[in-house]
Chains A and B, each alone.
Chain A
């Protein structure tokens, strides 16, 4: 066989190579092959291919074996860990918790496993998203707070007082028009009021009550009823601390309000009493109702009630009445950072103010209403009567 290499098939060569690699060739045959390999480069290449092929095959087999081995090692390791766990925990005490202590990774449910994988894979993204969300929320809150702070004028009473600033833009426009008109025809147009609030009749002789902050710094006052009848008025007496002011109508043509349908309550009202108010947050009279929520006002001020009546700028100075139509307070303001929280000066403080008015000897006589007439009327009837005695107070500065 070694003599006639030319006649050999490739398979024959492989048989020869294998015998040679296994050291099974006899001395002369081996020497012959080695000489041929040294001389014949094609044969040498063929031999290299053979060794590479067979060694790759064997290494591939080895790799598969070791892989299998490592897998079973891993399984054995986990199994051993579990076994140790059971031994490590004495089974007599607290049997309920014994399997959950040492290696919790082994006892994950599939869902939890999925969740953990998701968390591990996405925690960076989740973190960024969460920070952006938190940032957005806080900057929005901060922005709103700034905006609110910039739009709320600080008041004497700590909470937001509810006199209404009539639209400045409208005023500015009118001013411009006025200037043009003055230049042309010289007609004097009455000034536009800047602030408005609500007021109501205190006596039939022309005394009215409103909030002090409504008329604060006023040049002149105009009182306008539902029938658009206008009267000039002047402040007679104020109680800055309790946000009260008494006005008197100065017009000569004024004949009196007629008999007042409500009495002023001297005592205090119980919690939970149904209350309502009328006021002029806009050009028309607006009704609002609620309940007496607390017998003290902003920051525990006992001169005020807290009521759950929806009120708006312009409601200040409006009457607060109980179910029977007795006057129990004067609307003063609301707290912006609390829901449905309005404050009203207690009527007892109004009574005290009236008493001091008596002591000061007023220029015009006054008669306080003694008895209410609304006690058993249904609400719409009460309102129909009341609204004749509630006015819009316009302030010119």
Chain B
């Protein structure tokens, strides 16, 4: 974390240093990266018949792909972060435009950001789509789970609350009761989740 702090305070940290800092969980490094490349993506989307809101959506999704790949250690960058983000956001926006438009879509590209092909963005986005589907299924499974299971599991796995806190919050007599309840909930969630997730075509 200390390394991350020193990097994010410098004005233009190199890609490698940024990646290391973000991987280490430095929020300010991520904010720096976010701010750094926003104008490029915003310009690109606005230039290609998108609104400011579209640009924000696309950019946040793109940064999310980059961030998640980085955090789970599967990011293999063969180019600058800038080029990678451009390629990812370009692909995302193209997809949205194509789904919206009855006509063929031609994008106006900024020459300076090329070559955006062979950046690995395509494969990463396919993986990200799969991940999205997984999360959607999870969200639906949680919705169908009912209370107090849902809040219990969300408290433990999503919000990182301790079993002690949850025991108090849900009024269990002791942490073991809470734990047992949590496992039962997990089993129910498993059934709901896999019932939908594995049925869906991949």
Contact digits for A1-19, partner B, Cβ 8 Å, 1 yes 0 no = 0000000001110110010
- The contact string, 1 if C-beta is below 8 Å from chain B, for chain A 71-82, is 101101100000
Chain A residue numbers with a CB within 8 Å of B184 are 11
- Contacting residues of chain B (14-71) with chain A, CB-CB under 8 angstroms: 27, 30-31, 34-35, 38, 46, 49-52, 56, 60, 63-64, 67-68, 71
- Flag if A53 contacts B35 (CB, 8 Å): no
Asked if residues B135 and A60 are in contact (CB atoms below 8 Å), the reply is: yes
Contact B64 A70 (CB under 8 A): yes
Q: Which of A45-84 contact B (CB under 8 A)?
A: 49-50, 53-54, 56-64, 66-67, 69-71, 73-74, 76-77
| Listed stretches B83-91, B116-124, B187-195; interface member | B187-195
Chain A CB count within 10 A is highest, among B134, B138, B159, for B138
Q: How many A-B residue pairs have CB under 8 A?
A: 91
Q: How far is the CA of A49 from the CA of B191 in the complex (A)?
A: 10
Q: Which of B148-202 contact A (CB under 8 A)?
A: 153-154, 157-160, 179-180, 183-184, 186-187, 189-190, 193-194
**Cβ contacts under 8 Å, A69 to chain B:** 27, 30
CA distance A66 to B31 in the complex (A): 11
Q: Say yes or no for B139: interface residue by CB 8 A criterion.
A: yes
Nearest Cβ in chain B — how far from A208, in angstroms? 73
* Contact (Cβ within 8 A) B153 A77: no
Partner of B134, one of A56, A58, A117: A56
With A15-B180, A117-B51 known as contacts, the answer to whether A56 contacts B138 (CB < 8 A) is: yes
What's the tally of chain A residues with a CB closer than 8 Å to chain B?
36
Decide if the interface of chain B is mainly helix, strand, loop or mixed: helix
Q: Which residues of A contact B187 (CB under 8 A)?
A: 10-11, 14
B160→A120 contact, CB < 8 A: no
The CA-CA distance from A71 to B31 in the complex, in Å, is 10
Q: CB distance A67 to B193 under 8 Å?
A: no
Question: Does the CB pair A15–B56 fall under 8 Å?
Answer: no
Find out whether the CB atom of A56 lies under 8 angstroms from the CB atom of B193: yes
Give the Cβ gap from B75 to chain A, nearest Cβ, in Å: 15
Main secondary structure on A side of the interface with B: helix
A27 to B141, CA, bound (A): 36
- Interface contact B35-A11, CB-CB below 8 Å: no
CB proximity to A under 8 Å, residues B88-130: none
20 more contacts with CB within 8 A, not counting A14-B186, A62-B71, A64-B158, are A10-B187, A15-B183, A53-B190, A54-B186, A57-B153, A57-B157, A57-B158, A57-B189, A61-B157, A61-B160, A66-B68, A67-B64, A69-B30, A70-B64, A74-B38, A74-B60, A77-B35, A77-B38, A113-B52, A121-B49
Q: Which residues of B are in contact with A by a Cβ distance under 8 Å?
A: 27, 30-31, 34-35, 38, 46, 49-52, 56, 60, 63-64, 67-68, 71, 131, 134-135, 138-139, 153-154, 157-160, 179-180, 183-184, 186-187, 189-190, 193-194
13 interchain pairs, CB-CB under 8 A: A11-B184, A53-B189, A57-B189, A58-B157, A60-B158, A62-B68, A63-B135, A67-B60, A74-B56, A74-B60, A77-B38, A116-B51, A121-B49
